[in-house]
Every structure is written in structure tokens, then in C-alpha cells.
Structure 1
Amino acid sequence: MRIYGLKSCDTCRKALKSLEGAVLVDIRADGVPDDVMARALTQFGEKLLNRRSTTWRGLSEAERQGTPGALIAAHPAVMKRPLIEAGGQLFLGWDKDVQAALLR
């Protein structure tokens, strides 16, 4: 199981602590593999952007018009976190539904 997020993100750390054997992949340092990002964009689309983040608020209107994939490639911290890859499936965030699916 892989958790794509930021090592400084509290939510990512909570998910990592709860998911035994999971590995955190820091998206600033290592990025998200192209195949995983393509699947995430197909599955989540615009939901992959964290429009409440400090990074998002710092973007100009022109920058915000980019595609989710281009925005995340240029500004990794604008991605909603964590993106969890488990058993061939992708999960976004760390809400009760995701926890219920992964903490069985």
C-alpha cells in the first residue's frame, strides 16, 4: 500500500500511522508515477485539486485555469491528500468512508 502525500501533512501522517505496512511517497520529492496520476485523474478529475490549500489561494486566476494534471505537476501541494493506492484501487482523502474501506 502506498500513500501519496506530503511528509509534513497531518492527514497523511494520520493515514500512515493507521495503515500498517503503508509507505509514504512524498509528492514534492518523488512525485506521483505517471500511470497512478493518469488513473487518479480519470477516477477523481477536479476532485483531485485541493481548492482550500494555501498553495491554491496563492495561484493567480490564470494559473488556476490549467488542467488538474498540469497544476499538480507544477504545484504538487495543490493535490488533495492523501491519495492512497491499495489492492489496485485508489482512494482520495482520509474521511470515514476511506477509513472504513481500508481499516478492516
Structure 2
Amino acid sequence: MSSGKQITRVTLFKIPDPANQEKLANIYKEMPTKAKKDGKPYIVSVKAGPTIEDQRNQGYTLAAVSTFASLEDMKYYDTGCEAHDALKVEAKKMHQGILVVFYESSA
């Protein structure tokens, strides 16, 4: 996965309370400017919002799609990013399940 292609990460949450869904979505939307690596923003983009009610969503009520320039940047997001650590603290207070997948995509 080091071919220079961007990494797209999809995170799904089971959050029953719509107010908490909105709260976490807003935290996600701040990530491109709050998350820093070597003092600079490093996340390419983030989109987040509540899912549309549908039998196929299997109870997942919030989706977040984050794009990173590299797998290395996404790994930093998981292990070294203070802004992401703060997001995880908030998410743990409200979610009842989480699913994370990522893939290499065209730039």
C-alpha cells in the first residue's frame, strides 16, 4: 500500500442519540484543521453525518469518511494524533458499536 495513492477510511458508529450523532459529526468536521502532524494539518478531507434510516445500515447511525495522503498518515492518525485521541475519548462515551475499514484509492 505504498504506491502513493490516497487512503480512504470509512468509520461507522452505532450512536442512538441524534444529539450525540451531531456532536461527533461536528468534531469530525473540525479534524482537517485541528489534526496536526509536524505542526501542519495533514488530513486531506473529512465528511461526516448521520446515516439515512434503511434496513441495510445494520444499526449504524453515523458515517465518517476521512481521506489521507498516505497509509503512513493514517497510521499516525491512529497512534500519534492528539486531535484524534480527543475524538476517540468523546466517541467512546456515546457509541454502542464501531466499524472501521480503509482502502487505497486514486488521488
* TM-score with structure 1 setting the length: 0.28
Higher relative contact order (CA 8 A, sep 6+): 2
Which structure shows the bigger proportion of residues in helix conformation?
Answer: 1
Which structure shows the bigger proportion of residues in strand conformation?
Answer: 2
* TM-score with structure 2 setting the length: 0.27
